[in-house]
Amino acid sequence: MDFSSNQINLINQPSSHKSKYFQIDYEKELNEEQRKVVFAGEGPLLVIAGAGSGKTRTITYRVAHLIEQGVNPENILLATFTNKAAREMLHRVECLLGLSLNRIWGGTFHHIGNLILRREAKKVGFDFNYTILDREDQKDLIEACILQSGVDIKARRFPKADVVMQVINLCRNTLVSIEDIIDKNYPQFREWSGNISHIFALYQNRKRELNCMDFDDLLSYVWELFQKDEATRRKYAQIFHHVLVDEYQDTNLIQAEIVDFFASEHRNVLAVRDDSQSIYSFRGANFANIMDFPKKYPDCVLYKLETNYRSVPPILALANQVISKNTRQYKKTLQAVRKSGEKPIVVPAKNTAQQSEFVATQILTIRDNGYSLRDVAVLYRAHYQSMELQMELTRRGIPFEVRSGLRFFEQAHIKDIIAYLKVIANPRDEIAWKRILKIYPGIGKATSEKIWEFFRESIDPLGLIQKREIPENISRGARDGLLTLEELLAQLEEVDFQPGTMIQKIIQGNYNEYLTTHYPDYRERLQDIEELANFASQYKSLDGFLSELALLGEMEAENIIDGGLPDEKVTLSSVHQAKGLEWPAVFIIWLCEGGFPSGRSIEKDEDIEEERRLFYVACTRAKDYLFLCYPIVAEGNRAQTSFIRKPSRFLKEINSNCYTKWFLNRSGNEW
């Protein structure tokens, strides 16, 4: 579907804007596409800004031009998704014009919502001095509401506060009921839907009693206020003569409607974004917002920024071809300013181990060719896909930072699994015992201390628990938890200390249930653990596996590769976390079916299109070099099997003349 044809009128602005009329030399500092946006007239404007096309620069100069034209700064609203982005844009405008812009309404939607509510709090039932709950405060209050609700918190499958908070937040941001959120995202909690709805009501009431709001309130109360109070809506709509929204494709339903409220009087709304980079539906972002913009504003004018200043032509040619397969989009073709460059390289590897070895070796080659390690990024669809690479980089002394979260083996759920294995390997490991004990219902910090004090008197704590000799001064719930643990430990001892099989047993025990009740992202964490099991299956003994992990921890603290700088690190990141960034050299790994695209996103066409947009985002992070890697053989833990992986459908969609294919035949240290 191409919205650039008959639905939307494209206009042709004069290409020449003489600098003598303005303080800023727009002719010199902007290309023709950018100037058309900057000098556009009034009315709704939709700007489709391709990757690396200078959208931030365009917005900045648009604001500067409006002020040069006599628009009062206090009549301009600039909405962004980070306060940092707003500050940088406004600072650039100040530098361009040589004046202070303190009166511009600039910042995140939440920041702008807070500014309004500080003036209008009484109208939504709060005092002006309300406090704002951070995430930890929000969690604490929800925990208090769970207790107040009278629900049996010891019930094995009732979700913890983190999960309840995620359900509530999704409900608020998507305008979907608690019941529907649970049906779609957390079906294992359907029996608790009524209880969670009640907790939500208690939570809302408690916030009013305490005169506090959470971050979602800063939007939802503004939305409710503008819906119910026409006079207040008109007051702000009259203030904002021009509304500029960056990253419009990332807005949720509430944010998009608030923008419409702001623009309802003057209708000078500028929505800037690239529909091809809409990748946050899991956060509540609504892709339809940007696709339906022309329906809401039939007289809008569409502009496209298609000149790319980032990537070499072969990378853009591949990216253009990738995204062309999506049906729901604004058609565009990125054109490179740079004149030449290397084709992307597709690299099939025998397995994930060879994939990691290749990436590590190639990183060093790139460094030897004059680049810094800071110039290199490795991107992946899911965090677990970086596990083997993290280990390989650590072995080689190649420093790295993980943008997508903690290092793989530092994550809580991975440390939990390793703690079970440590107890089997060394029954006197106090730290490991205390960690796994607290996983079980009825056992907190104090009770785990009591249990350990009982165990430490024995030379064989495992023998004690197997004989069901347990402390008498603990609760019935704690005793039941210990008996459940005993059953699992007995099973772990029966599998000949094979670490991969042991991890599968832990998952099949109560840990899967523990994940679902404690973590909103339990699916991703379970996937991490399953991949850990597959990796561990390569080791013939439990001691060998644990020793390898311990040695890696030691290596992590050692010096970096010869000649490296202390702050020189390769970036490892999920694609989601890499959006908006760029590097000279980018590796995308695990480009196989079930890896990228994700196995959970291949049933619906809309999900596949978002996965393709995600791949497009990953490709367009690269400036000079792009490596597309995938493992051919996957190791499966069950029955020590292996199976062939299919290359990602996104690779199959690319014409072979768009890339170079490398085949890995390792001889010594050469590929």
* Catalytic annotation, residues: 55-56, 246-247, 277, 621
- What does the radius of gyration of the chain's CA atoms come to, in whole angstroms? 28
The phi, psi pair for 514, rounded to 5°, reads -60, -45
Question: Distance (Å, rounded) from C-alpha 370 to C-alpha 149?
Answer: 62
Nearest Cα residue to 258 out of 282, 289, 287: 289
Q: Of 492, 388, 72, 79, whose CA–CA distance to 241 is shortest?
A: 72
Q: Write the DSSP assignment of 313-348 as a string of letters.
A: HHHHHHHHHHHTT-SSS-----EESS---PPPEEEE
- Report the alpha-carbon distance of residue 108 to residue 255 in Å, rounded: 10
CA distance 208 to 475: 37
Angle of CA points 387, 379, 419, to nearest 5°: 20
**Furthest CA-CA distance within the chain:** 91
- Cα–Cα distance between 619 and 585 in angstroms, integer? 10
β-strands 76-80, 307-308: how paired? unpaired
Which amino acid is residue 397, in one-letter code? G
> Phi/psi of residue 626, each to 5°?
-135, 120
Question: Whose CA is closest to 529, among 377, 432, 616, 420?
Answer: 420
Q: What is the DSSP letter of 507?
A: I
Q: How many residues does the chain have?
A: 671
Question: From the CB of residue 131, how many other CB atoms can be counted at a distance below 10 Å?
Answer: 11
End-to-end Cα separation, the chain, in angstroms: 44
* Pairwise CA distance, residues 535 & 640, whole Å: 11
SS3 305: strand
Neighbours of 216 (CB within 10 A): 20
Query: Exposed (0-12), middle (13-18) or buried (19+): which is 316, by Cβ within 10 Å?
Result: buried
Q: Exposed, middle or buried by CB within 10 Å (0-12, 13-18, 19+), for 219?
A: buried
Alpha carbons 548 and 440: distance in angstroms, whole number: 28
